[in-house]
Amino acid sequence: RKEVEQDPGPFNVPEGATVAFNCTYSNSASQSFFWYRQDCRKEPKLLMSVYSSGNEDGRFTAQLNRASQYISLLIRDSKLSDSATYLCVVKYRGGGADGLTFGKGTHLIIQP
């Protein structure tokens, strides 16, 4: 089975700091990459897709490194409301059962 690995954390970060975490994937036949955030007892919400050239959305920057098979998420000027679990999702080519794989998530706690 194709694997997606994340450091579960928790990452305890003071408000206003910059935090980054990575997600590694095991198979190079990957097609699409995403970051989701999930708050406690809520559904996952799409944070951003990750593009080959990297992309930014406000305080959030996502990068893809195909050579080393990882994606990263950088959060600048962290807010208390950024506290959540961040899930990395990889979509592999084709429609097989391994086509969509979730990482176990990284738990982020922003402290006042």
Partner 1 sequence: DTEVTQTPKHLVMGMTNKKSLKCEQHMGHRAMYWYKQKAKKPPELMFVYSYEKLSINESVPSRFSPECPNSSLLNLHLHALQPEDSALYLCASSQDWTSGGHEQYFGPGTRLTVT
Size of the site for partner 1 (CB under 8 A): 23
Closest separation between CB of residue 96 and partner 1, Å? 8
Q: Near partner 1 by CB under 8 A, which window of 11-19, 50-58, 62-70, 83-91?
A: 83-91
Q: Near partner 1 by CB under 8 A, which window of 10-18, 27-35, 55-63, 70-78?
A: 27-35
Give the Cβ contact number of residue 71 at 10 Å: 25
For residue 10, whether the previous peptide bond is cis, meaning omega lies within 30 degrees of 0, is yes
The residues, ordered by sequence, that sit 6+ positions from 75 with a Cβ below 8 Å of its Cβ are 18, 19, 20, 59, 60, 82, 108
Task: Summarize as ranges the residues that interact with partner 1 (CB under 8 A).
Answer: 31-32, 34, 41-46, 49, 87, 89, 91, 94-97, 99-100, 102-105
